[in-house]
Structure 1
Amino acid sequence: MPVSMSESWQEKAAIKRAQVDARIPESFRLREEFLRGTESSSTSVLDIPAKCGILSPEEIAITENYTAISLAVALATGKLLAFDVATAFCKRAAIAQQLTSCLTEIMFDQALKRARFLDEYMKKEGHPIGPLHGLPISIKDSFNVAGVQSTLGYISFIDHAPADKNSPLVDILLSLGAVLHVKTNIPQTLMTADSDNHIFGRVLNPHKLCLSAGGSSGGEGACVAMRGSILGIGTDIGGSIRIPALCNGIYGFKPSSDRIPYSGQTSAGRLGSPGFPAAAGPLANSFADLELLMKSVIDARPWNLDAQALAIPWNTTGVEKKSKLRIGLLKEDSKWPAWPPVRRALDTAAKKLADAGHEVIELDPNKTSLDEGFIIAYESYALDPTQQAGQFIAASGEPMTESLKRTLVGSQALLMRGGNAPGSDVFDLNVRKRDYQRRWNDVFVSLNIDVVLCLGAQTTAPPHDTFGMVPYTAAWNALEFPAVIVPFMKADKTIDTEDLATQDPEHPYSAEEVHRAPLAVQIVARRYHDEKLLEASQAIDTCFRA
């Protein structure tokens, strides 16, 4: 509900936080003994939901023992009721919020009402309403739900009325049977990889509270990792699905733009950018659940609700199922040195795949430099001469967050190195982008590779406000290539010692600080080869788990 303009930005933020907090029922609240962790704590909170006493043994089983696919089967066959499932995940999301600040809007009452409707539908019709029947799905704060605010962490947006209609993707998810119970936290402007804002605070990493949960879909990353939802929906224009996935040890898929409907969201910046488009996509604890979400949404013909959505059906029949893949291995760019555990994860993954009989071809990191694509990406981000996001911040008098300040400093340095003034020649920028796409396409074709295996970031989840620049994700956005994060191994201070680190003043490495942080690799395919990418990545993930 809007608050008076006479109040300070701090008072507005406090009122909004209190309104959201009041939507957590008393019976869902943690005892004080479980609330001792802070953003400087090195502890994990992943075990608290199962031991805090809020969830019954049955609810623990519902939230921990199922994938989205197996949970959908249990709901469709009547083994579980949608109301019981929704109750369990509402409780678990409430626990996740109290421990990690991962939520912005709590919609438990609506979710339980929806679940009752779904159970009545099943009883009357004898079949589920759709493939996502009863699945509790979290959505990033930018997606609009009728009657619910989308503040995006801007104090000035607190005065905005709740959304008057759903985003097209929200309508599609509901038509497929989903239960939407929470919206998730984000960084100020959505253009930094540390999810922190002055309304809802900082998202903490459930694996280690002193580390970043990533951004900009950081709340999704933490909520899904805590199993506060069975599936999450994020957006990605520079790594905003993939970075939270790698920070929180889960799977994240950035599809080709407009495969999943993107329009109808509240925008954190100026609409109409001539740069490349963002993408919406899933985060999950199971690889197969990524495809469940993609196929279900695209089978619903999203182009009938979103004019920008591509009228391309989800088609795996034309994807060759290969027992042995040809994988391009792209190691670190010397301009963006990787931390020892990140480098070890990629090297180990490549060896494991080669030992399993896949053909791994090392690519020349200088021939198709990710640094070049990264500069193109950041020139595209800087095209708005009005700096609309800055205006949204200034409107309330709130300050920039520390992570946003760091990102802006890094962006300015990168643009200076690129040598092109932001917006000076959009035509030239697009020519350079198309040439970059052409050269990368030639790499795939000339080497006959199925996918590229590469780093997802320079670092593991780093300490708060230090993620900085995102070359290993943003370059693929500039190419408009689909990419998926696959969790693989954890940092180990006894192996990933500090003497192995490359000197990097922007990212000083501490083996102790990131010990046991999740590691991951990124897998990439050409534009619109989404089905092929998921097919190949599933085989790679299976190899990792063997």
Structure 2
Amino acid sequence: MPSNTLPVVQVKPLVKGSPAYEAERVSLLEEFAAKVPDSLRLPIELINNPPKNVTNVPQQCGLLTPEELAITEKYDATTLAALIASRKLTSVAVATAFSKRAIIVHQLTDCLTEWFMDDAIEQAKHLDEYLQSTGKTIGPLHGVPISVKIHLPLAGHFSEVGFSDTRVKDKEDCHIVAILRDAGAVFYCKTNQPQAIMHLETVSSWGRTLNPHNINLSSGGSTGGEAALLAMRGSVLGIGTDIGGSIRGPSAFCGIYGFKPTSYLVPRKDFVAGGSIPELGILATAGPMCGSLRDMDLFMSVLLDSKPYLVDPRLVPIPWTGLKSLPQPKPLKIGIMMNDGAIVPQPPVMRALNWAAKKLKASNNFSVKTFEPYNTAKAIKNIRLAYWPDGGNGIKKHLAASGEPLLPLTQWIIKDAEGPELTPAQILAQRLERDQFRCDFASHWASQDVDFVICPAFVGPACEHETSFYWNYTAFWNYVDYPGAVVPTPIKAGKKGAEKYAADAPAPLSKEDEHVRQMWEEGDFEGAPINLQIVARKYHDNDLFAALEKMQWVLELP
């Protein structure tokens, strides 16, 4: 890469596009680099020879003051909001600290697509002046810095819908951003996403986002830039989106909190410029990615307390009670799904499931039993077809327009649906089959006699680059449209070869299961965090948070 771009850590080369595309990509990277002062650039020796785990570099690099380290490391968003409101911290100090840390994290993980520290400080100044003159905050997020996934429109900044030819500068905020801005949030960066916004690995024109815990692993996708930034405390609260695991997958890969609400609960107006073909069959939703349970709750309360359904009548007007929901009957009935009937999770995930089951069984607040999976293979086949009713031809048109290369994981996700565009009757048939599956699964859930399900978030820990093939454990819940949160555990993957499948593990359940076992034997996942996923029935989002509040101390959730 030319010297007038910002050097970032790279571990695997990108697929090259046409000369015109590559020239445009360099131009974008030069535009980005021009805003980064020398005082915030890491030594090139570090970029060229990084440690496998880069999470400690921001603390050790000397580019942040002790105060900035404290601001970015000691507090969650809830605490920052309180400290700013009480004038113990200024909005400017907080915006400066997170902006500086974000650009450091970017050089180590390639997580950003845009960085605008000056804009953030200017916005923060106005907030400080307002608080000083009135004694009041703008709203519950006054001065809290929030990072934004690139495809969500943010006034005055660039968005794209997963292809370089769709990049535009937006004149207005999308609905969800506008609500957060009205609540006092400060915006300072936009984060990377994959081509087509449809991989569980984040690779784009901007580069490949790395997992901070082990840079040879994926940060996940499609909200992988957010996940890497949050894991390294370059952000305290981010906006993710999810149509197949795009909040839960990267959050789990990077060891942070993430929540996928039921569809049409959270604001979606102007969510994706021009709409999204996959949403003809499966609705995406937005949700929080962050470092604490109460920050997920704060994000949801700010959005839903604004009564967004008055602006967008598609939304279901359910008030948010979240962690403050009324106590539920004791004990809560928890189903543990050890595998989905198609792929047995890799050893560290099984260890985390057994850890959680033991913890919950030891508490009088929970009744724990096995949850039997339901027809996962059919759900995953159907959702892969439903994502691309145009046969994948829209993707190919975008790529042809710019010379952008078709990435391997894009080819992987469209391969089952490639072909002629479906007719309206065929799309209707897909939807009818989906709806029948949802009814059948609701009956299955009832037959299991559980309130909530705990299951893996992925087939293993964060996967090696270019191997995020199997989304079963997240995409299934998109197909049935159930809300799910992923939460960190104390468990991490050990050194290569240190952990094997259990002797009593079932024989491979499928050829995909065989492949997952092979990848475990061959891969190096050292240091990767393990999250678990907790799921509730459709539109039981408040009940899910009430259950998380009960689980908080048992499962050691910060």
Normalising by structure 2, what TM-score?
A: 0.89
**Deviation per residue, 1:368-410 (Å, 9 max, x gap):** 222232223222102225732221122111211232233344x
Say which is worse superposed, 292-301 or 20-29, in terms of deviation: 20-29
Q: 1:272 to 1:378 in 2, by over 3 A?
A: closer
CA 305–34 in structure 1, closer or farther in 2 if over 3 Å, else same:
farther
Query: Structure 1 residues 268 and 515, CA, compared in 2 at 3 Å: closer, same or farther?
Result: farther
Provide the rounded CA distance (Å) in 1 between the counterparts of 2:427 and 2:317.
Answer: 28
Q: Which residue, 231, 240, 248 being the options, matches 1:242?
A: 248
Structure-to-structure mapping, 1:39-118, within 5 angstroms: 43-118=52-127
Equivalent in 336, 339, 364 of residue 372 of structure 2: 364
Equivalent residue for 1:191, pick from 192, 195, 198: 198
Taking only aligned residues, the RMSD between alpha carbons, in angstroms, comes to 2.5
Report the equivalent of 2:492.
490
Cα deviation for residue 490 of structure 1 reads: 0.8
- Separation in 1, partners of 2:32, 2:161: 14
Which whole-Å CA distance do the structure 1 matches of 2:291 and 2:329 have between them?
24
* Cα distance change of structure 1 residues 205 and 123 upon mapping to structure 2, 3 Å threshold: same
Matches of 1:422 and 1:460, distance apart in 2: 39
How many residue pairs align between the two structures?
527
- In 1, distance between residues paired with 2:274 and 2:250? 18
The residue type paired with residue 291 of structure 1 is D
SS in 2 for 1:509: helix
Secondary structure of the corresponding residue to residue 145 of structure 1: coil
2:152 to 133, 143, 146: 143
Query: Quick one: structure 1 residues 30 and 476, their matched pair in 2 at CA, closer, same or farther if it must change by over 3 Å?
Result: same
Q: Which amino acid aligns with 1:519?
A: I
Q: CA deviation at 1:499?
A: 7.3
Q: Which deviations, in whole Å up to 9, do the C-alpha atoms of 1:105-147 show, x marking residues without a partner?
A: 1121211111000000100110211111111110110111122
Helix, strand or coil for the counterpart of 1:8? helix
**1:259-292 superposed Cα distances (whole Å, 9 cap, x missing partner):** 2112213448745843121000000111111001
Is residue 156 from structure 1 mapped to residue 168 from structure 2 by the alignment? no
Match for 1:34: what amino acid? L
Worse overlay, 391-400 or 87-96: 391-400
Q: What are the residue-to-residue correspondences of 1:177-256 with 2, within 5 Å? A: 177-197=184-204, 199-256=205-262
Instruction: Give the drift of 1:434.
Output: 2.0
User: Would you say 1:543 and 2:554 are equivalent positions?
Assistant: yes
Equivalent residue letter for 1:479: V
Counterpart in the other structure of 1:442? 443
Query: Is 1:120 paired with 2:110?
Result: no
Match of 2:20 in 1: 8
Paired residues of 1:269 and 1:388 also in contact (CA < 8 A): no
Q: For residues 52 and 272 of structure 1, do their structure 2 counterparts lie closer, same or farther at Cα, with a shift above 3 Å needed?
A: closer
Corresponding letter in the other structure for 1:22: A
CA-to-aligned-CA distance 1:307-327 (integer Å, 9 cap, x gap)? 433322213565434563210
Q: Structure 1 residue 509: deviation in Å? A: 1.0
CA distance in 2, matches of 1:143, 1:336: 33
* Separation (CA, whole Å) in 1 of partners of 2:393 and 2:132: 53
Query: Which letter maps to 2:256?
Result: I
* CA distance in 2 between partners of 1:282 and 1:517 (Å): 21
Q: What does 1:412-427 align with in structure 2 at a 5 Å threshold?
A: 425-427=426-428
450-459 or 236-245, which moves further after superposition? 450-459
Structure 2 match to 1:276: 282
CA distance in 2, matches of 1:128, 1:57: 27
How far apart, in 2, do the equivalents of 1:50 and 1:351 lie? 36
**1:21 maps to which of 30, 33, 44:** 33
Query: Could you list the per-position Cα deviations for residues 199-251 of structure 1 after superposition, in whole angstroms to 9, with x for gaps in the alignment?
Result: 20000000000000000000010011111111010100000000000100001
The Cα shift of 1:68 comes to: 1.0
2-side partners of 1:215 and 1:386: how far apart?
A: 19
- Name the residue aligned to 2:292: 286
SS of equivalent to 2:244:
coil
> 1:52: how far off?
0.8
Quote the residue 1:522 is aligned against: 533
- Call closer, same or farther: CA 1:268–1:343 in 2, change over 3 Å: farther
What amino acid maps onto 1:364 in structure 2? E
**Aligned 8 A contact 2:372 2:448 in 1:** no
- Shift in alpha-carbon separation, 1:428–1:402, aligned structure 2, 3 A: closer
Task: Indicate if the aligned counterparts of 2:90 and 2:128 stay in contact, CA closer than 8 A.
Answer: yes
The structure-2 alpha-carbon separation of the partners of 1:257 and 1:37, relative to structure 1 and needing over 3 Å to count, comes to: farther
- Partner residue of 1:36? 48
Stretch of structure 1 that moved more, 143-152 or 524-533: 143-152
Q: Cα gap change, 1:318/1:270 in structure 2, threshold over 3 Å: closer, same or farther?
A: closer
129 and 76 in structure 1: CA distance in 2 versus 1, 3 angstrom threshold: same
Given that residues 450 and 536 in structure 1 are in contact (C-alpha distance below 8 angstroms), is that contact kept between their aligned partners in structure 2? no
The C-alpha deviation readout for 1:178-217, integer Å capped at 9, x for no partner, is 00111100000011111001x2000000000000000000
- Please report how far the alpha carbon of residue 7 of structure 1 lies from its aligned counterpart in structure 2 after TM superposition: 7.2
CA distance in 1, matches of 2:85, 2:64: 23
Q: Out of 97-106 and 350-359, give the one that drifted further.
A: 350-359
Relative to structure 2, which stretch is displaced further, 505-514 or 536-545? 505-514
Could you tell me which runs of 5 or more consecutive residues in structure 2 were left unpaired when the two chains were aligned. Answer: 1-17
State the alpha-carbon separation in 2 of the partners of residues 275 and 290 from structure 1. 27
Structure 1 residue runs without a partner (length 5+)? 1-5, 416-420
Answering whether residue 499 of structure 2 is matched by residue 504 of structure 1, we say no
Distance across 1 between alignment mates of 2:487 and 2:406: 32
Q: Which residue of 1 aligns with 2:482?
A: 481
Q: Would you say the 8 A contact 2:325–2:546 is kept in 1?
A: no
Structure 1 counterpart of 2:100, one-letter code: K
What is the TM-score normalised by the length of structure 1?
0.91
Tell me by how many angstroms 1:512 deviates.
6.4
Q: What is the DSSP-based 3-state SS (H/G/I as helix, E as strand, rest coil) of the residue aligned with 2:158?
A: coil
Which amino acid in structure 1 is aligned with residue 436 of structure 2? D
Name the CA distance, whole Å, in 2 between partners of 1:384 and 1:244: 27
Q: How far does residue 103 in structure 1 lie from its aligned partner after superposition?
A: 0.5
| Worse overlay, 144-153 or 458-467 | 144-153
CA distance in 2, matches of 1:306, 1:93: 33
> Does the 8 Å CA contact 1:108/1:181 hold for their aligned counterparts?
yes
Q: Return closer, same or farther for 1:511/1:352 CA change in 2, 3 Å cut-off.
A: farther
CA contact (8 A) 2:252 2:488 kept: yes
CA shift for structure 1 position 492: 2.3
The equivalent position to 1:176 in structure 2, one of 183, 186, 200, is: 183
- 1:298 equivalent among 269, 293, 304: 304
Name the CA distance, whole Å, in 2 between partners of 1:327 and 1:314: 23
